[in-house]
Amino acid sequence: MYRAVLGLLLVVTMVLPAGPASGQVGTTTITKWQEGKTGAVSITFDDGTINHFRVARPLLNERGLPGTFYIVTGGIPGSEEKGRFIGRPVEEIIEETGEDSTDADNFFERASAVRYLGYKGTYKYHMEAGGLYEQGNVQEAYDVIDEGYRKVRQGEHEKKDGSWDYPLSEYMYEVMAVEPGVDLVTWDDLQSYDTEFHEFGSHTITHPYLAVMDEKNIRYELRESREAIQKHLGEEHTFSAEAPFGTKDERVMELGHEMSPALRNRMPRPYLTEIERGSEVKPDTTRTPYTLWQRGPLSDTPMSEMKRWVDVTQQNDNIWLVLVFHGIEGIGWEPISKAEMTEYLDYIDARTDDLWVATFADGTKYVQERMNAEVSTERREDVLSVTLTHSLGERYDLPLTLRTYVPSSWADVQIGQGDDRQSATVQTDDQGTYVQYQARPNGETIRITSR
Ligand SMILES: [Zn+2]
């Protein structure tokens, strides 16, 4: 109880910008989190395996909690954008590997092409080299690529017959950790879910290790996947994306940020500390206004630990807990059961008075809009006029929660922005009397009056 009260006081004092004394009539602040809550939680799912939609989605819907689903678009039946190699004929590359070994100059091209040489099983060299490279074992990654091409040249890999049929490929089943023949989500399914309140985002076409690919092929994976989502689900689902294997590779991040306003992988901002899934940094020891705390529940993660993440988020005022789920109920990587998912969502749902459960896109928008917004208030007789602006561009369109201090004699307060009308209850804190309401940034001037 004491902790909760303390958290609330911190919110009030920390959100006030420099300027007029806090609590003075005509002062407006943007609350740290939506609706003045003390923290945020985003529930995200990677890889688009079927039980995200058949098991987790209904559980979210029953509780009114939004989810964010990063989907591998090339695995969706009927997708026109397939995995392929963008570049020279692969025969030329195979031949060259017999003449010189892999080095910094040719590695990215070779590691991009190796899945598409027309032989069975060569995708494994891409996987292995990708894992090694991401761990900093660069020379070992080169060696794996050399070994792969040597085996191809020596005829150790059986030729594929017919054309590359991506949705049924061995590679896809392995990276998504599903058995061949398991159901895959369809675009029709996804379109029907789009009437709900969830977010979808790109997780590339084929879930490669982008860090070991050349620029042409990285761009192809990111761009074509984004365009497939735009075409089938609409522009709003192209706001955030996740590059596979949680990569933080600088080249990939640069190209990714050119195409999506937000990547769950990385969000470099001076006002935000990022704590990776594997990091043990304590989120309540950071000094920035916001901390993005990623946690990935795996099959053996104790429920008590998962609940503790939620508690810590609730007991502080600066934490955005971003949960990363993979498999659900036996399908996908490191699955957690339906029973565990149910218990966990109930636990989160019981704390929504304090916690704002938001899609990853909305969490991103709120934090960035608030930190880049200018808000000013003018008082003329019995009208307070508030303007809220930012220069982040029109995709940052999430309404923010404002708190404007009003004369203590005000009772029945009306708030209008353009055609939107809200009534607000007058509240008090140790700073004074205020009303709390939602406002659209870069919209009309907000007028606050008392009847
Ligand atoms: Zn993934």
Rounded to the nearest whole angstrom, what is the distance from the C-alpha of residue 372 to the centroid of ligand 1?
31
pLDDT in tens, 252-273: 999 999 999 999 999 999 999 9
Instruction: Classify residue 266 by burial, with Cβ atoms within 10 Å: 0-12, 13-18, 19+.
Output: buried
Low-confidence ranges of the chain (pLDDT < 70): 1-23, 162-168
Task: Specify the pLDDT at position 170.
Answer: 75
Residue 72 alpha carbon to ligand 1 centre in Å: 8
Rounded distance between C-alpha atoms, residue 238 and residue 161, angstroms: 36
Q: Which residues lie near ion ligand 1 (Cβ < 5 Å)?
A: 46-47, 244
Separation of CA 200 and ligand 1 centre (Å) = 14
Whether residue 415 contacts residue 424, with contact meaning beta carbons closer than 8 Å, is answered with yes
| Distance in angstroms (rounded) separating the CA atoms of residues 374 and 353 | 27
Can you give the pTM of this predicted structure? 0.92
What distance in angstroms lies between residue 89's CA and the mean position of ligand 1's atoms? 29
Q: How far is the CA of 127 from the centre of ligand 1 (A)?
A: 13
What pLDDT, on a 0 to 100 scale, did the predictor assign at position 22?
57
Owner of token pair 């602040």: 29
Distance from the CA of 98 to the center of ligand 1, in angstroms?
33
Angle at CA of residue 398, ends 392 and 404, nearest 5°: 100
- 424 C-alpha to center of ligand 1: Å? 44
CA 164–ligand 1 middle distance (angstroms): 22
Ligand 1 centroid–CA 352 distance in Å is 28
**Ligand 1 center–CA 292 separation, angstroms:** 19
* CA 109 to centroid of ligand 1, rounded, Å: 22
Q: Collapse the DSSP code of 367 into the 3-class scheme (helix H, G, I; strand E, B; otherwise coil) and give the result.
A: helix
C-alpha 423 to ligand 1 mean position (Å)? 44
Residue 245 CA to ligand 1 center (angstroms) comes to 6
Residue 1, pLDDT score? 35
Nearest 5°: the CA angle 234, 237, 240 is 150
The pLDDT value recorded for residue 78 is 84
Q: Give pLDDT, residue 155.
A: 96
User: In order of start, what are the domains of the chain with their CATH numbers?
Assistant: 2-30+373-450 (2.60.40), 39-73+182-363 (3.20.20.370), 90-163 (no CATH)
From residue 79, give the alpha-carbon distance in Å to each of 89, 167, 184, 259, 444: 24, 9, 12, 20, 41
| Per-residue pLDDT, 21 | 53
- Start-to-end CA span in the chain (Å): 37
With contact defined as beta carbons under 8 Å apart, do 322 and 367 qualify? no
Q: How far is the CA of 13 from the centre of ligand 1 (A)?
A: 40
Give the distance (Å) from ligand 1 centre to CA of residue 70: 8
How far does the centroid of ligand 1 lie from the alpha carbon of residue 332, in Å? 10
pLDDT at position 163 is 55
Q: What pLDDT does residue 17 have?
A: 44
Task: Tell me the CA–centroid distance for residue 208 and ligand 1, in Å.
Answer: 9
Identify the CA nearest to 85 among candidates 108, 55, 115, 59: 115
